Structure 1
Amino acid sequence: MSDYPWLLTMIVVPAVGGAVVAALPKGRDALAKQVTLGVSGLVFVLAVLATVAFDTGGDRFQLVTSVSWIPAFGVDFALGVDGIALVMLLLVGFLVPVVVVASWRDTAPAGRTMQAYFAWLLVLEAFMVGVFAATDVFLFYVFFEAMLVPMYFIIGSYGGPRRQYAAVKFFLYSLLGGLVMLASVIGLFVVSESQLGAGTFAFDALRQLEIDPGVQKLLFLGFFIAFAIKAPLVPFHTWLPDSGAEAPIGGSVLLVAVLDKVGTFGFLRYCLPLFPDAARAFAPAVLVLAVLGIGYAALLAMGQSDLKRLVSYTSIAHFGFIALGIFAFTTEGGTGAVLYMVNHGIATGALFLVVGMLIARGGSRQISDYGGVAAKAPVLAGVLLVAGLASLALPGTGSFVSEFLVLIGSFPSIPVFTVLATVGIVLAALYVLLMVQRTVFGPARGLVAEKPSAFGDLGRRELAVVAPLIALIIGLGVYPQPLLDLIDPAVAATMVDVGSDPAGSTPVHEPVTAEQGAN
């Protein structure tokens, strides 16, 4: 069973499905939706079967497929997953069908068709699987850049009033980061050629190179800038509020829940194992950015009047916690960061979807246009409350387990940064509860009072969208062990690469203070 090319199949199926949907006769939107749901559902089944085939006690990278692609430059179409990549593939496989069902009744702007929208979703899914499964650095770069194309069209063709501005901004920021990374990818090839006699992009071979610390720093920065833009970390974040707000709800979910995780995934997969000396050298500066991002984004979220921009800013704050766990260089912190990536995708995906359901009823993104939703749609209000509580990491939700692991994993090595980061927890409670209070509680007001007939409660399709998300939010808060069993060995191996005790008891750097980080 483990010999089956699971990962290649998970790329080919949605890619072919996207081509089929695009080739359907015009006007067959209903058939396009059905094909898209069937194909994305099949990808999720494949992801589950791949997880069953994965041996947590086996080799670091499993389900491997490798075909020579450009032999003159040592490029292979090489795929494989460790536990970190595998849980991200499960997240992709789970969220895309949810987005398809959530988008079932969406309508396209003039001159566009929903058929093309669903085709782009499947193409995007193929590229997302590829970027997490690639074990050839050049192949990773190809998928990293290819993801921009379908998301650009999803935002630019199906988004809000400023969709073209948001799409171009998203594309240019990400493209710039990718070009900087390309310079480092080429640099790695040159270094491998000088040490091995033949250049290679194979991750395992590159991990064994002994790169001069000065060269490491330059190569590290190329990868780091691309990943910091993608994540995004402050001050590389300014594209996300625009893109998250203007994208259609389905696009916003995949953008924040999956695409942005490529940045934090890249920190763990490439920055730490390939450039351990540089990672340790730059860790204090990265931690400063992480903590600043937690507080800064939380404060901006509190001041937002636009529901979708508020959710986008909350995500920037969460990425600060993920970076904190990664650059603490302990297994507990790294495991918490990866689990945070999954739980954030589920919780923020749920929050975006429920916000989208609210906007679909009122036709406005402004918080001030809503009030007293609970009186008209109690189930909708309850789901919004649960998603909001998961976003602020309330105990009993999956986000709490992730945040707790990050904090206990980072405190031994970076206590000052950890304490400062906890301030973000208090701010998260404020911006989430204020948003919920203004929209859910009290007497009906704003659009809820003006158009009461529009604010019916959740229908069966909407319940089918949010029910599995709420179940996972609570389920992973109560019992996260199955995911931890997948994640922990891969994170421990990464910590060995970077020079840390795999048990997580010995950090790779001495405790860092905020003053040292600032300097």
Structure 2
Amino acid sequence: MSLLSLAIWTPIVFGVVLLALGRDEQAGAVRWIALIGAVISFLVTLPLYGGFKIDTAAMQFVEKSMWIERFNVNYHLGVDGISLWFVLLTAFINVVVVIAGWEVITRRVNQYMGAFLILSGLMIGVFCALDGMLFYVFFEATLIPMYLIIGIWGGPNKIYAAFKFFLYTLLGSLLMLVALIFLYTKSGGSFDLLTWHKLPLSGTAQTLLFFSFFAAFAVKVPMWPVHTWLPDVHVEAPTGGSAVLAAIMLKLGAYGFLRFSMPIAPDASREWAWLMIALSLIAVVYVGLVAMVQKDMKKLVAYSSVAHMGFVTLGFFIFNTIGVSGGLVQMIAHGFVSAAMFLSIGVLYDRVHSREIASYGGVVNTMPKFTAFALLFAMANCGLPGTAGFVGEWMVILGAVRFNFWIGFASATALIFGAAYTLWMFKRVYLGPVANDHVRDLTDINAREFLMLAMLAVAVLYMGIYPKPFTDVMDVSVTELLRHVALSKLN
């Protein structure tokens, strides 16, 4: 097995082993096996970065073997500068989530940990797949463990939220399946993604394909106005589920635009870029305003995720190098910051069993260590320079100003809204005198929670202070993608 297969199947194998263990009486052993599995799964991804060549846009670590011979479906994997960091990010977040659920989950522990490990492997498969049908299988399969995570370990309305999540994302993906079958017939019976990138398609075919892919990927991002499932799901999902959903699963949709929509339908992507920019700006500005009036901390951070992902799609469809690279950097940064925000809310919820902002006040007086972490993550969510949250947004705004000053100006206003809703929440939850007996009885974070938050804090600060390793990996691949989109009419 090559490195990519190891990255995909190591967590899945550990997940299946955990499912086989069964009883909650074995919970202690289950937790340790889950942690060992998550750590090994992360370690096997590190050689990908160590052996990655940053001076080529070609796919690397490629492996290909026949899967379904009759339909010419291949088990075809590879990564380039666009996808590499998401493999590492997924494996890293999986380690954090296993640590986060260590003491919190007390029933069906093996199924909970197993679901996350299997989900991690499937999401890595999405980022590595170079066969259209293989991509679709991984893309859809991620719904199953997340549906179970929400439906079994979620809040009071977990069944409603799980169904809403499943139906929205599944229905959007059905049009993508039609598009994949069309491309299969058009290419003479091939599901090879790199072959599809070179197909000479008419303007009408490109437009239909673009909107077919849009139906699947826009729901997953989620873009306005198909974002309404996200707040409901976040509120009901367990803390680990919210962290993985925000940190990784939303990125599957944005990644799809770069891997499918732009290279396969480049003319249509340029033609409809105005629509993508408009929807992105609405997400950035309007959804930011919606976040300001939320009373539930999880809902506030969920709406903030929609606004931050608006920066990603905006960066992609302004078609300049700094904008697309900024969108990718923002995706990685949002993975760290959003996971940290949701896990911080989980720390409070585990103690008080309320997500309402009004239930708190003066937390700094009883949890000073935790408040220091929460302040860092709040600053990163605002886009403070020196944190991961700043780098991607700044690059996207710079690219947008180069594209059109007023689009850049409109996107920059979102930084004001982001600071407003994040700092207002921080003030009401953490600052001031102790507001009630619940807060007075709080105990500061333990060693496990400190480790979980410290891992994310290091990632947030490292990326904010020294983003060069992240941008160096993606530069050549982004340049090649934009060259392909720009030259498509000439070909």
Query: Aligned partners of 1:409 and 1:450: how far apart in 2?
Result: 47
Letter in 2 for 1:219: L
**Structure 1 match to 2:316:** 326
Deviation at 1:451, TM superposition (A): 5.2
Runs of 4+ in 1 over 3 A off after TM superposition: none
Deviation at 1:414, TM superposition (A): 3.0
Match 1:442 to one of 407, 432, 436: 432
CA RMSD of aligned residues (A): 1.3
The aligned runs of 1:386-405 (5 Å cut-off) are 386-405=376-395
SS of structure 2 residue aligned to 1:14: helix
Query: Aligned partners of 2:88 and 2:410: how far apart in 1?
Result: 32
**Structure 1 match to 2:135:** 140
What whole-Å deviation, never above 9, does each CA across 1:149-201 have from its counterpart, x for those lacking one? 000000000011111110000000000011111111111112112xxxxx111
Pair 1:362-2:362 in alignment? no
Query: Aligned partners of 2:37 and 2:372: how far apart in 1?
Result: 31
Match 2:484 to one of 460, 482, 497: 497
Pair 1:466-2:448 in alignment? no
**Structure 1 match to 2:404:** 414
Contact in 2 for aligned 1:83/1:488 (Cα 8 Å):
yes
**Structure 2 match to 1:513:** none
Query: Aligned partners of 2:345 and 2:226: how far apart in 1?
Result: 25
**Structure 2 match to 1:452:** 440
Query: Aligned partners of 1:468 and 1:355: how far apart in 2?
Result: 16
Query: Aligned partners of 2:29 and 2:487: how far apart in 1?
Result: 53
Contact in 2 for aligned 1:355/1:384 (Cα 8 Å):
no
Structure-1-length-normalised TM-score = 0.92
**Structure 1 match to 2:69:** 71
**Structure 2 match to 1:128:** 123
Contact in 1 for aligned 2:366/2:439 (Cα 8 Å):
no
Pair 1:431-2:426 in alignment? no
Contact in 2 for aligned 1:272/1:497 (Cα 8 Å):
no
Pair 1:217-2:207 in alignment? yes
Deviation at 1:58, TM superposition (A): 3.6
Query: Aligned partners of 1:500 and 1:325: how far apart in 2?
Result: 20
Query: Aligned partners of 1:343 and 1:279: how far apart in 2?
Result: 25
Contact in 2 for aligned 1:330/1:500 (Cα 8 Å):
no
Deviation at 1:415, TM superposition (A): 2.5
Structure-2-length-normalised TM-score = 0.97
Query: Aligned partners of 1:107 and 1:13: how far apart in 2?
Result: 23
Query: Aligned partners of 1:419 and 1:302: how far apart in 2?
Result: 20
Query: Aligned partners of 1:100 and 1:62: how far apart in 2?
Result: 30
Deviation at 1:383, TM superposition (A): 1.1
Match 1:185 to one of 180, 183, 199: 180
Pair 1:480-2:479 in alignment? no
Contact in 1 for aligned 2:315/2:399 (Cα 8 Å):
yes
Query: Aligned partners of 2:196 and 2:438: how far apart in 1?
Result: 62
Query: Aligned partners of 1:339 and 1:228: how far apart in 2?
Result: 19
The aligned runs of 1:54-65 (5 Å cut-off) are 54-65=52-63
SS of structure 2 residue aligned to 1:499: helix
Deviation at 1:452, TM superposition (A): 2.1
Q: Percent identity?
A: 39
Structure 1 residue runs of 5 or longer lacking an equivalent are 194-198, 502-507, 509-519
Contact in 1 for aligned 2:203/2:267 (Cα 8 Å):
yes
Match 2:246 to one of 220, 241, 256: 256
**Structure 2 match to 1:511:** none
SS of structure 1 residue aligned to 2:66: strand
Contact in 1 for aligned 2:221/2:309 (Cα 8 Å):
yes
Query: Aligned partners of 2:21 and 2:331: how far apart in 1?
Result: 36
Query: Aligned partners of 1:99 and 1:136: how far apart in 2?
Result: 29
SS of structure 1 residue aligned to 2:76: strand
**Structure 1 match to 2:50:** 52
Query: Aligned partners of 1:5 and 1:134: how far apart in 2?
Result: 14
Query: Aligned partners of 1:414 and 1:266: how far apart in 2?
Result: 25
Match 2:99 to one of 87, 98, 101: 101
Pair 1:152-2:139 in alignment? no
Query: Aligned partners of 2:4 and 2:404: how far apart in 1?
Result: 37
Pair 1:242-2:232 in alignment? yes
Pair 1:291-2:298 in alignment? no
SS of structure 1 residue aligned to 2:63: strand
Deviation at 1:500, TM superposition (A): 6.8
Query: Aligned partners of 2:433 and 2:22: how far apart in 1?
Result: 49
Contact in 2 for aligned 1:301/1:314 (Cα 8 Å):
yes
Letter in 2 for 1:475: Y
**Structure 1 match to 2:307:** 317
**Structure 2 match to 1:113:** 108
Contact in 1 for aligned 2:56/2:476 (Cα 8 Å):
no
Pair 1:23-2:20 in alignment? yes
Letter in 1 for 2:10: V
Letter in 2 for 1:265: Y
**Structure 2 match to 1:341:** 331
Query: Aligned partners of 1:414 and 1:140: how far apart in 2?
Result: 35
Query: Aligned partners of 2:236 and 2:451: how far apart in 1?
Result: 25
SS of structure 2 residue aligned to 1:83: coil
**Structure 2 match to 1:280:** 270
SS of structure 2 residue aligned to 1:28: helix
Query: Aligned partners of 1:74 and 1:14: how far apart in 2?
Result: 27
Letter in 2 for 1:23: A
Deviation at 1:365, TM superposition (A): 0.7
Query: Aligned partners of 2:297 and 2:56: how far apart in 1?
Result: 45
Query: Aligned partners of 2:112 and 2:326: how far apart in 1?
Result: 35
Letter in 1 for 2:160: Y
SS of structure 1 residue aligned to 2:75: strand
**Structure 1 match to 2:374:** 384
Deviation at 1:322, TM superposition (A): 0.5
**Structure 1 match to 2:260:** 270
Query: Aligned partners of 1:235 and 1:25: how far apart in 2?
Result: 42
Change (3 A) 1:420 1:59: closer
**Structure 2 match to 1:516:** none
Query: Aligned partners of 1:451 and 1:259: how far apart in 2?
Result: 33
The number of residues matched between the two structures is 488
Structure 2 residue runs of 5 or longer lacking an equivalent are none
